Amino acid sequence: MTNAAEGLAVEQYPDLNREFYSSDPVTYFRNRYYLLLLAASKADQLDQLLANGVSYEGITAQSELTEPTDEDERLHQAFLITEAEVLLHHASEALLRLYFAHEDLPECPWLEIARLTKFSEFKRRVAQLRDHSIPREHIGRIFLGSVPDQHDDERQLLIGAIERLLRIVARRTLEDAHLYNSSKHGLAVVSGPASLTITSDQTGASFDSSGPSISFLELSGDRTKWCRTTRWLPAQQSLWLTNLVITEMRALWEIARARYTEVEISGVDAIRPEALNELQASAAPVRRVSMPLKYYQQSEQG
């Protein structure tokens, strides 16, 4: 197999870096986030805007303004739940890939991202990020701009929050991979409210999960049966986590841009532990449940 890196001229790396960091993935995800917030909070105004008609480059759209029904509200909430999850997963995967591309300070991070084409290798690295400690010097260098002094309590606090976010993002990226694929490929999901109550036979104690959810079909863990899985995903929680992901993506991008193109930055934002505590407090007691589909009973072989 030909080694594409063999003989690659390193003199072109500075130009590649300048071109790469002239783009802005943060603005892309931030704009999608803002548009989803608009759809969630200003639905009536958007309906009126479309009723008046909108146009761009000769393409015009106009919808009829009608009295909203319960079915309209159900479909609107289904859209918000699904789109919030798709946006979160897309932004999370982008953040993780950017982190992997910058963690060892390569000469050309654009090449590092382009090299990570095997999804099995990406999953392996995400699982390692989830299950093992992350070098604090990596986090400090990539998200704060420098390796922090061990006695700098404030920066150590920020590093701890960033590491915690990376673990949350890594876990969700792996756990919700089937959900994301079902949403992205053919929109093979059913979104809406769902309820579940679990009671212990021994103690009689019970707890439940209810609220916005997405249901989809996936193979069981041993890949022998099809299951219908329901995942509880409050849109507010997905949006909150997306905002944290975008915040740290911006920190990584601005610091990398300064490092590789020698532009100046005035500073970057960093998440604090309180933001993650609020996220954890809003989590459902039961995040997901899977029930096998019905199968015909197989006859015994004589």
Of the candidates 189, 278, 239, 250, the one whose C-alpha atom is nearest the C-alpha of residue 88 is 239
Mean residue pLDDT of the chain comes to 89
1: pLDDT strictly greater than 50: no
Q: Using H for helix, E for strand and C for coil, what is the string for 170-225?
A: HHHHHHCHHHHHHHHCCCCCEEEEEEEEEECCCCCCEEEEEEEEEEEEEECCCCCC
The tens digit of pLDDT for each residue in 175-210 reads 999 999 998 888 899 998 887 766 666 776 666 667
The residues spanned by each domain of the chain are 15-54+68-184+235-292
Report the b/e string of 240-270 with b at 16+ CB within 10 A. bbbbbbbbbbbbbbbbbbebbeeeeeeebeb
How far is the C-alpha of 140 from the C-alpha of 148, rounded, in Å? 6
State the pairing for strand pair 226-232/190-199: unpaired
How far is the C-alpha of 69 from the C-alpha of 67, rounded, in Å? 7
How far is the C-alpha of 118 from the C-alpha of 139, rounded, in Å? 24
The reported pLDDT for the residue numbered 301 is 53
The reported pLDDT for the residue numbered 286 is 67
* Residue 94 one-letter amino acid: A
Of the candidates 8, 9, 20, 10, the one whose C-alpha atom is nearest the C-alpha of residue 261 is 20
Are 122 and 116 in contact by the 8 Å Cβ rule? The answer is yes
Of the candidates 98, 130, 119, the one whose C-alpha atom is nearest the C-alpha of residue 260 is 98
The tens digit of pLDDT for each residue in 7-48 reads 899 999 999 999 999 999 999 999 999 999 999 999 999 999
Of the candidates 77, 84, 88, the one whose C-alpha atom is nearest the C-alpha of residue 43 is 77
302: pLDDT strictly greater than 50: no
The reported pLDDT for the residue numbered 283 is 64
Whether the predicted model's global pTM rises above the 0.85 cut: yes
The tens digit of pLDDT for each residue in 145-176 reads 887 677 788 889 999 999 999 999 999 999 99
The reported pLDDT for the residue numbered 194 is 81
